[in-house]
Structure 1
Amino acid sequence: MNPIEPFYIVILFLTGAFTGLVSGLLGVGGGFIMSPIQYWLFQEAGISPDLALRIAFGTSLFVILPNAISGTLKHQRHSAVLWKQAVLIGVSGSIASFGGAAVASYLPAAVLSKIFGVTVILGALKTYTTPAVRAENGISSSTLLYVGAGIVIGFFSGLVGIGGGVLGIPIMLIFLHFDMRKAVGTSAAVMIFTSFGGALGYVINGWGEPGLPPYSLGYVNLLNWLLLAGPGVLAARKGAQIAHVVNPEYLKHFFVFLMVYIGLKMMGVF
């Protein structure tokens, strides 16, 4: 498949729009949506599975960066971003995300896709059992806990090409005692850091790799980035706007359903 074929362009454009909407709505990067679709498209274009998955992960992280900025600005208008906590998680997460991307550069696609699926499903199951609404004064004040959360979120973000929201939101709800809306807004801000660190790791570790498609910087493909990020940035703002008028429990249930579906898909269950 030629990467400039109309079918390829339409699929990525629609994926970018949907991912941006979900990103703004749920505070997740949407890598669990973009990565499987890009993985399939790259293989259809004749790229080996191992290389295709790394490019899908790296490109997804780079797409998440502008989406996260767009969504964060919208959430900030509703005072849903806890900046001190976001910076603590984000700085430690960006360093760990770079490391996760380095590890991913040496693992085969079969291993990475299963890690991706299991990670997403575990996060979904924990989220389902956690209340979406919490008391404002119950939020954790432990700096060490935030830094530890950042390391876990960031490492898996870089390893499996996600912004970190699919892990970050469960961690914020369960261990840091955020309510759903604060978790969504703060998660969007954290992803600015983790997506940057992870994308940089994929660029550096993939630099000079043979067999890369045209318009690639390491494991980041700029053509896919443009087609995904363009509609995604606009849709992320709309998603963030919708998030503040929807019942938090509905947000949580939609989040869990989407995570389980994509997780099973990447594990090859169907």
Structure 2
Amino acid sequence: MVVVALIIGLAMGLFGSGGAILTLPSLIYFLGIEDKVAIIGSLVVVGFISAVTAIPHLFSKTTNFSALVYFAPSGIAMSFLGAKIGSFTSSEIQISVFALLAFLAAIKLLMQPNLPSTNSSEVKKLSLVITGGIVGFFTGFIGVGGGFLIVPSLILLANLSIRAAAATSVVIILLQSIVGTAAYALYSPDYFDQLPWKTLMVIGVIASVGSLSGVVLSRYLSQTLLSRILGVLLILVSTTLLYTKLF
């Protein structure tokens, strides 16, 4: 589990996403945690990792606050609604939606042409607000940080480089994870009370070490390579989850 936690953190540091994509399956398959509890636990772990990962990005001024202002508020509001609905939805539906969205995000990333290494001044403000709300809803509904949806959205709508998108994403993930966790605590107290807090904190600490390493490593890798790796990772995880749930 130590190795898995390091990989989870490395993904967050490199891509600004991928934490929940690996955390959720790991809690279910490696630790044998019940699906619904794992969904909530994934939010806790990803929120912890994103809090740590956001620190070096803020100091290096990589975070794009312009995109953050348009994307985050609607996302935070809708993540609470998504978590409320998710608390009354079967875990099979939640995980299937998670896998499907991850697969679609992967296809979109892999179909993109080579990505620029610098940010463009063109920002689709209304699209960011709308997309932020949609992503926020699914973040709460499927119990993940949502970085695998946030990063492609910031690249495509705010014209950010993947490094800036990753840095901005972890701040949004932190805010949405806090709201989503609070919503599950309110609407699913029985499952929330079953959270293995010590285990989640250990995973969070180990993953944070990997995450900080990923932030440093991302400075030496090309934008296009990072986006392609993320796309392949999303396809592998989503198809595995869909296969195990459907067959």
CA separation of 1:230 and 1:134: change in aligned 2, threshold 3 A: closer
State whether residues 109 and 152 of structure 2, in contact with CA within 8 Å, keep that contact through their aligned partners in structure 1. Answer: yes
Mean Cα deviation higher: 126-135 or 248-257? 126-135
* Distance (Å, rounded) in 2 between the aligned partners of 1:79 and 1:193: 18
Mean Cα deviation higher: 259-268 or 194-203? 194-203
* Distance (Å, rounded) in 1 between the aligned partners of 2:25 and 2:85: 19
After TM superposition, list the pairs within 5 Å mapping 1:28-177 onto structure 2. Answer: 28=17, 30-41=19-30, 44=32, 52-130=34-112, 131-133=114-116, 136-140=119-123, 142=125, 144-177=126-159
SS of 1:154's equivalent in the other structure is helix
State whether residues 124 and 157 of structure 2, in contact with CA within 8 Å, keep that contact through their aligned partners in structure 1. Answer: no
Note the C-alpha offset of 1:219. Answer: 6.2
State whether residues 54 and 219 of structure 1, in contact with CA within 8 Å, keep that contact through their aligned partners in structure 2. Answer: no
Is 1:260 aligned with 2:235? yes
State whether residues 59 and 224 of structure 1, in contact with CA within 8 Å, keep that contact through their aligned partners in structure 2. Answer: no
SS of 2:120's equivalent in the other structure is helix
One-letter identity of the residue aligned with 2:24: S
Instruction: State which of 171, 175, 184 in structure 2 corresponds to 1:189.
Output: 171
State whether residues 117 and 267 of structure 1, in contact with CA within 8 Å, keep that contact through their aligned partners in structure 2. Answer: yes
Is 1:242 aligned with 2:242? no
State whether residues 58 and 219 of structure 1, in contact with CA within 8 Å, keep that contact through their aligned partners in structure 2. Answer: no
Which residue of structure 1 aligns with residue 14 of structure 2?
25
Note the C-alpha offset of 1:124. Answer: 0.5
Q: Deviations over 1:112-156 (max 9, x none)?
A: 2211110000000001122321653343052x3322122112111
Note the C-alpha offset of 1:63. Answer: 1.1
Tell me the matched-pair count.
244
SS of 2:243's equivalent in the other structure is coil
Runs of 4+ in 1 over 4 A off after TM superposition: none
Superposed CA RMSD: 2.0
State whether residues 127 and 174 of structure 1, in contact with CA within 8 Å, keep that contact through their aligned partners in structure 2. Answer: no
One-letter identity of the residue aligned with 1:16: A
Which residue of structure 2 aligns with residue 3 of structure 1?
none
* More helix per residue: 2
Q: Deviations over 1:30-87 (max 9, x none)?
A: 1111111212256x46xxxxxx222111111111122112212222343321123224
**With structure 2 as the length reference, what TM-score do the two structures score?**
0.90
State whether residues 49 and 208 of structure 2, in contact with CA within 8 Å, keep that contact through their aligned partners in structure 1. Answer: yes
State whether residues 49 and 205 of structure 2, in contact with CA within 8 Å, keep that contact through their aligned partners in structure 1. Answer: no
SS of 1:140's equivalent in the other structure is coil
One-letter identity of the residue aligned with 1:242: L
Is 1:15 aligned with 2:4? yes
State whether residues 120 and 159 of structure 2, in contact with CA within 8 Å, keep that contact through their aligned partners in structure 1. Answer: no
CA separation of 1:175 and 1:141: change in aligned 2, threshold 3 A: closer
* Distance (Å, rounded) in 2 between the aligned partners of 1:226 and 1:257: 28
